[in-house]
Amino acid sequence: MNPRQDPKSNPSARLLVVHADDFGLSADIDAGILCAHREGIVTSASLVAGGATFAAAVAAARDTPTLDLGAHLTLVGERPVLDPRLVPSLVGPDGHFHRHANGFAARFLTGRIAMAELRAELASQLERLLATGLPISHLDSHQHLHVLPGLSRLTAELARDHGISFVRLPRERRRPGGTGPDRAGPDRGRLRRLQRAALSGCSAWARRHWLHHDRRHADAFHGFMEGGDLDRAALLRVLDAVGPGLSELMCHPGLGEAPLAHHVGWGYRWRAELEALTDERVRQRVLERGIRLVGYGELRDERAPDSAPGNSSDHATRISRSSRSDHSAP
């Protein structure tokens, strides 16, 4: 398949956004994302407006125009963009958001979160991102909170009001071959399956709001079950499952293993994901399966991908050249 082929002229084309979350959260995560883009298959990343390294990530993004950029809306774990005194229902006594999605969801679904504060904080995050002048093509969120019933409509409205075409729909279907290595035992696998079922249910409801507000989403989503544990074997399985249409693969590359203490609890293997995303066998599998690596930005305005400046088709071409040169080396 021609790596610059217009997907509208080839409905059987396999288009894949390889998307890294948490850009701007920490220096080690940022470095991993940039390495996975420059040396691997990552095409896209979403910025955390309130992240500790937001300013450095913005500077790096300006130097890396081939990296597609989105907004990673955040309502847990970090600090709000607004003064915490303006959003008291969103924060704890320390001025930080509540620690985990489960706690936020419980508070939100029982009416203890003020919708006006939610709207103000999320709008401020988007405005901070857009004020950088960087092109923001899509929207997702920390721990997928944007698909919660009641919050998904607000998400769609904010995306529309800020001119953001694509919104993540984290509805992951079951795939043959399992979910990758289960380092934490069978209980972790069962928990992830329950979480996937809940997330898929929320996504089905959220999709109505995406469509009502003329927002778009990928046809398929991958990476939830492998979250934080996307090693080479798991990544190859995902690539084998990518079908026709537009798919998104979520990943979390980084250097080291969680430099911030409150991230250690995730149990993620950032470096292992980075190694997988830059592995030669992975790049070769992309080519063998005829997968075209893209970013949302080149699809945003229904343009042919080769008309978009700085688009991720150049990334696919670099992978093809890299693979040929690697195989021709003695």
For residues 12 and 244, is the Cβ–Cβ distance under 8 A?
Answer: yes
Flag whether 2 is in a domain: no
Tens of pLDDT, residue by residue over 262-318, are: 454 567 888 999 999 999 999 999 999 999 999 999 997 544 333 233 344 555 544
Confidence band for 175, pLDDT divided at 50, 70 and 90: low
Q: How far apart are CA 293 and CA 282, in angstroms?
A: 13
Flag whether 235 is in a domain: yes
Per-residue confidence (pLDDT) for residue 225, from 0 to 100: 79
Flag whether 1 is in a domain: no
Supply the pTM of this predicted model: 0.85
Confidence band for 2, pLDDT divided at 50, 70 and 90: very low
Confidence band for 187, pLDDT divided at 50, 70 and 90: low
Which amino acid is residue 257, in one-letter code?
Answer: E
Q: Coil, strand or helix: which one is 209? A: helix
Q: What is the CATH number of the domain that holds 236?
A: 3.20.20.370
Number of neighbouring beta carbons within 10 Å of residue 290: 13
Per-residue confidence (pLDDT) for residue 326, from 0 to 100: 46
Among 70-79, 162-171, 188-197, 279-288, the least confident range: 188-197
Tens of pLDDT, residue by residue over 125-156, are: 999 999 999 999 999 999 899 999 989 999 99
Flag whether 241 is in a domain: yes
Tens of pLDDT, residue by residue over 209-262, are: 999 999 999 999 998 878 778 999 999 999 999 999 999 999 999 987 655 444
| Strand partners of residue 245 | 14
Tens of pLDDT, residue by residue over 13-63, are: 999 999 999 999 999 999 999 999 999 999 999 999 999 999 999 999 999
Among 49-63, 99-113, 171-185, 259-273, the least confident range: 171-185
For residues 260 and 52, is the Cβ–Cβ distance under 8 A?
Answer: yes
| Residue ranges making up the domain that contains 298 | 7-328
| Strand partners of residue 203 | none
User: In the predicted model, is pLDDT for residue 73 greater than 90?
Assistant: yes
Q: How far apart are CA 227 and CA 329, in angstroms?
A: 34
**What is the average per-residue pLDDT within 195-222?**
88
- DSSP 8-state assignment for residue 98: P
Count of structural domains within the chain: 1
Flag whether 192 is in a domain: yes
**CB under 8 Å to 106, separation ≥6 — which residues?**
none
Q: How many helices (H) and strands (E) does the chain have?
A: 11, 8
For residues 78 and 56, is the Cβ–Cβ distance under 8 A?
Answer: no
Q: At 166, give phi and psi (nearest 5°).
A: -105, 140
Is beta strand 166-167 parallel, antiparallel or unpaired with respect to 220-222? unpaired
